[in-house]
A and B are shown apart, each in its own frame.
Chain A
Amino acid sequence: MQNKPKIIGGICEFCGIPAKECPHYSVNKTPVHPILADIKPILPKMSETKIADIIIPTHNRSDLLKQTLESIPIDPFNVFIIRGKTYSQGNNIGIKMAQTDNLIFCNDDMILNYYLLEELCESPFDIAIAQQYLPDGNPLFCGLKWVNNDFMVLFDQHEVEVPTSALFRIKRSVMDKLGEFDEGFKNGGEDHDLFFRALEMGFNFGFVNTPVLHFSSQSSGRFLFEKENTQRLRERWTNERITNLLKKI
């Protein structure tokens, strides 16, 4: 699990800014250039109709959730927040409530923007993925590549065989064919299982241009079932099955 960064001399070692303004310690204060901070947020014209449903399962980081919600321009989106469930249970509840053709699955510890959300909706791919970056500007891994019967973690999206992200859009028609998230997984592995199924069924994926800021796996208990989740994933997705599905890509 990612540790909270240390404060050295009043400065967050991760962000390099004073702890009072660091998003890790004071989530309401996103660092903004002092001149631009006085300018009202410039938001584009909003669509009058809803263009997507954003589904956010949340656990115990209401501070980060607040920040995520503040970064979503509400007008063109339905936003569903599901509390007290696992990631897959929460997403499945959201899918049932959703009203549009674009289902956006989002973690509760991200900063989004309108352009990014719009790109997710307009992407020509069955599954549209946002590449994740940490608040300090460093990338998080964006996918996996199958090498010597094991997965190699990748930071370059062009080599990705199976994507990884905490923010992605699936078309309603694709979701109907894929089926729900497997609730046998507990906060880990369910997205990989879903993407494997999608690839096996011949759906494609692609990354959108604008990245997302992710504060990454800060909920307590996030990795409590890691061993069980990994075992479940490997039992279902044997080497042979993965090799066969990747041949289709």
Chain B
Amino acid sequence: MKILIGCLSMAYLSGSPLYHYELARELKKQGNDVDIISEWQNPVTEIEDPEGHILKDNLIKEGIGILNHNENYKTKYDLMIMSEPQSKTYIERQNCPVINVIHSEYECEAPIIHPNIKAYVCIRPSIAMHIYSQHKIPYQMIKVIYNGVDRERFCKKNHEKRDYKLIVAPCTLDKLREKFLNYLIENSNEKNRVRLIGLNCGANLKSSPYAEIVNGTFNIEKEIQNADAVAGILLGRVNLEARSCGIPSYVFDPESLKMQRYYPDELTFDTRHNVKNVAKQFMDLYAKLS
């Protein structure tokens, strides 16, 4: 089966590009021909991600087709999986069934309205309710399929012994997360140290001798496996990756700073988040729509 995945940008290491990266790899492993159409040079952020190119390099190595956003492709696809409003232009280039994936409640990721769209997939229930109540998407077209995690890569590993706890927060260091990041910095101390890992995109961060800020890295599994706890916002990828590694993780609301521990049971987690199951859910959905 030929599948085209489309999104705004694959040039930086953040939630949406990593989602498409993992999904494309798994769909390929499951026997499909997969191409991705996107912007590959320029990230959505104003600052270039030094490791953003790794996604493209790895995808090419694994036999996944790379199409530039302005490319007028010729391949006849069986299915398109499209994210973000800008992908509407990709949909308009060919008459093909489309699944529109919605990654957040933010307007920049609003659902696409187009007759070729056969189903709307939301990565968590609150988004499903948001697009129903705010964007008037028919409820019969909505299905929730959660973010997928490569569980072979994000697996349990024992870390070095220390006389302090290390809390790791891998994320884009931006204004949205500024309050959350400063909360972690302010609460760091000798016994509870903090390591913030990510591209600085304008966050005004405080300093502490117990809080370290380092650049983002593609091999984030090593950082997570070495942590005592992981912190993130809005049940992002890092919370899932930490759970997959057996590391306790905490989900913060970026505004209220209300915090919840995220540690679902193994059966729930694997059913929902193992990327093998996620890809299978897409294929099952397609089988019903075609």
Contact = CB atoms under 8 A, between A and B. Distances in A.
Interface of A: 15, 30-37, 39, 41-45, 71, 111, 113-116, 123-125, 131, 133, 135-139, 156, 158-159, 204, 206-207, 209-211, 213
Contact of B137 (A36, A45, A136): A36
A32 B264 CA distance: 34
- Residue from the set A32, A39, A206, A209 with the largest chain B CB neighbour count within 10 Å: A209
27 contacts: A32-B136, A33-B136, A34-B136, A36-B136, A41-B140, A42-B118, A42-B119, A42-B289, A44-B285, A44-B289, A111-B139, A113-B140, A113-B143, A115-B142, A123-B271, A124-B271, A131-B125, A133-B126, A138-B129, A156-B260, A204-B267, A206-B268, A207-B268, A209-B145, A209-B272, A211-B125, A211-B129
- Residue from the set B125, B134, B138, B265 with the largest chain A CB neighbour count within 10 Å: B125
B144 A210 contact: yes
B125 A124 contact: no
Interface in B128-158: 128-130, 132-146
Contact of A211 (B119, B144, B287): B144
A61 B207 CA distance: 60
A137 B289 contact: no
A111 B137 CA distance: 13
B113 A30 contact: no
Nearest to B118: A42
B288 interface: yes
A158 B262 contact: yes
Given A32-B138, A36-B141, A43-B140, 15 more contacts: A36-B138, A41-B138, A71-B139, A115-B285, A124-B267, A125-B267, A133-B129, A136-B133, A137-B126, A137-B129, A158-B263, A159-B261, A209-B272, A210-B142, A211-B129
Nearest to A138: B129
B209 interface: no
Interface string B264-290: 110110011000000000000101110
A135 B133 contact: yes
Interface in B33-48: none
Contacts, number: 100
Given A137-B133, A158-B262, A113 B146 contact: no
Contact of B130 (A44, A137, A213): A137
Interface in B98-136: 113, 115, 118-119, 125-126, 128-130, 132-136
A216 B262 CA distance: 28
A33 B144 contact: no
Interface residues of B, number: 38
Contacts of A113: 139-140, 142-143
Contacts of A124: 267, 271
A203 B142 CA distance: 30
Nearest to B125: A211
B288 A44 contact: yes
Contacts of B135: 33
Contact of A213 (B134, B137, B139, B146): B139
Contacts of B289: 42, 44-45
A209 B133 contact: no
A115 B115 CA distance: 20
Contact of B260 (A31, A138, A159, A211): A159
Counting from the closest, the 4 A-B pairs by CB-CB distance are A44-B288, A33-B136, A137-B133, A209-B144
- Residue from the set B118, B119, B126, B139 with the largest chain A CB neighbour count within 10 Å: B139
B128 A211 contact: yes
Interface string B190-229: 0000000000000000000000000000000000000000
A129 B65 CA distance: 40
A209 to B, nearest CB: 4
Contact of B134 (A32, A37, A137): A137
Given A42-B289, A156-B260, A209 B140 contact: no
Contacts of B132: 137, 213
Given A156-B260, A209-B125, A36 B143 contact: no
A156 B139 CA distance: 22
B96 to A, nearest CB: 15
Nearest to A133: B129
Nearest to B130: A137
A140 B129 CA distance: 12
Contact of A210 (B130, B143, B288): B143
